[in-house]
């Protein structure tokens, strides 16, 4: 009855996604049903790793993270794990031949959050690649379903979209990162305080990532284009709101998009069932 256990494992990853991110779980509904389980499994894996380093402050996070990594590699070698999140993820890794380099880069970035507090230009590029770009590339592996030529063609845009999402997250969470976790992800803030001019420079970089990413979104397969575009719309609106938010407010609270706007974006895509190329 391994099939039943695998089915339960994917359901557990879906529950994790729904509980940790209503926006992401809603966006997944725009993906073709044939790939939804796999995307849930990727989110479940990266979310658990992120939780270890960001929230389990009363526990030995380094040991928990090492155990998590070791358990994953036991799962991929055995083809099974009694941890349903790892079990569903290893099934997706095997099915879509997700490169171990991507997983190693992700784990390396997450592990760096256990001790590193400031990043230089190269270090932040490496961190964003591992924490965000490779997650997009894992999903891209699922989207193209073995079409290596298409994967290579869409890879640069997928990485730019992951970078844009991560940088927006940094700005949205800058209050918690600086005041609670004592992390500075933007190298420009090592020598400058966050002010309106610095914020504009950061957002200009994000806008360029989004511009290049959109070209790739247009070329995604039908099974995923609408879902990725929904995420693009959500983060674009979040970026616009951050642009209009005074620095003082950014440094004191987490910026959010009202649920009515999230729902509007999703309904507009659900209704038309096509990607707006304009």
Evaluate whether residue 26 is within a structural domain. Answer: yes
What total number of domains does the chain contain?
1
Evaluate whether residue 163 is within a structural domain. Answer: yes
Evaluate whether residue 9 is within a structural domain. Answer: yes
d(CA 54, CA 182): 11
User: Would you say residue 215 has pLDDT above 90?
Assistant: yes
Burial of 126 (0-12, 13-18, 19+ CB in 10 A): middle
pLDDT in tens, 36-94: 999 999 999 999 999 999 999 999 999 999 999 999 999 999 999 999 999 999 999 99
CATH number of domain containing 102 = 1.10.600.10
pLDDT at 267: 55
Please state the rounded mean pLDDT for residues 4-28: 92
Evaluate whether residue 277 is within a structural domain. Answer: no
Evaluate whether residue 164 is within a structural domain. Answer: yes
What sign does the dihedral 182-186-187-192 (CA atoms) show?
Answer: negative
Give this prediction's pTM.
0.90
Contacts 24+ apart (CB under 8 A), 249-257: 250/171, 250/174, 250/175, 250/194, 250/199, 251/174, 251/175, 251/178, 251/179, 251/194, 252/175, 253/175, 254/172, 254/173, 254/175, 254/176, 255/171, 255/172, 257/23
pLDDT in tens, 120-160: 888 889 999 999 999 999 999 999 999 999 999 999 999 99
Give the bridge partners for 118, in sequence order.
184
Domain that holds residue 118: 2-272
User: Would you say residue 35 has pLDDT above 80?
Assistant: yes
Please state the rounded mean pLDDT for residues 95-107: 98
pLDDT at 262: 59
Please state the rounded mean pLDDT for residues 158-180: 89
User: Would you say residue 271 has pLDDT above 60?
Assistant: no
Evaluate whether residue 278 is within a structural domain. Answer: no
257 sits in the region (left: phi over 0; alpha: psi -120 to 50; else beta) called: beta
Mean pLDDT lowest for which of 74-88, 147-161, 171-185, 234-248? 171-185
| Residues sharing a CB contact under 8 Å with residue 13, sequence separation 6 or more, in sequence order | 37, 40, 41, 43, 44, 45, 84, 85, 88, 89
d(CA 140, CA 152): 10
């Amino acid at each position: 009855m391994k099939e039943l256990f695998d089915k339960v494992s994917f359901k557990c990853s879906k529950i994790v996604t729904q509980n940790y991110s209503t926006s992401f779980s809603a966006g997944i509904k725009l993906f073709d049903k044939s790939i939804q389980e796999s995307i849930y499994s990727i989110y479940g894996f990266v979310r658990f790793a992120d939780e270890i380093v960001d929230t389990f402050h009363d526990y030995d996070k380094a040991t928990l993270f090492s155990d998590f990594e070791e358990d994953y590699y036991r799962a991929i070698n055995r083809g099974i794990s009694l941890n349903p999140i790892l079990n569903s993820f290893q099934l997706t890794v095997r099915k879509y031949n997700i490169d171990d380099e991507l997983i190693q880069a992700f784990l390396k970035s997450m592990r760096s959050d256990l001790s590193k507090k400031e990043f230089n230009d190269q270090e932040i590029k490496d961190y964003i690649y591992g924490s965000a770009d490779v997650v997009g590339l894992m999903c891209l592996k699922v989207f193209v379903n073995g079409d290596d030529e298409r994967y290579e063609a869409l890879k640069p845009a997928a990485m730019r979209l992951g970078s844009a999402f991560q940088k927006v997250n940094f700005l949205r969470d800058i209050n918690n990162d600086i005041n609670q976790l004592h992390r500075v992800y933007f190298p420009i803030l090592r020598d400058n305080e966050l002010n309106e001019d610095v914020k504009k420079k950061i957002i200009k970089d994000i806008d360029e990532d989004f511009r290049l990413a959109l070209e790739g979104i247009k070329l995604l397969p039908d099974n995923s284009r609408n879902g990725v575009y929904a995420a693009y719309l959500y983060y674009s609106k979040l970026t616009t709101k951050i642009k209009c938010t005074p620095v003082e407010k950014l440094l004191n609270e987490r910026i959010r998009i009202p649920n009515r706007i999230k729902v509007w974006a999703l309904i507009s895509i659900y209704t038309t069932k096509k990607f707006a190329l304009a």
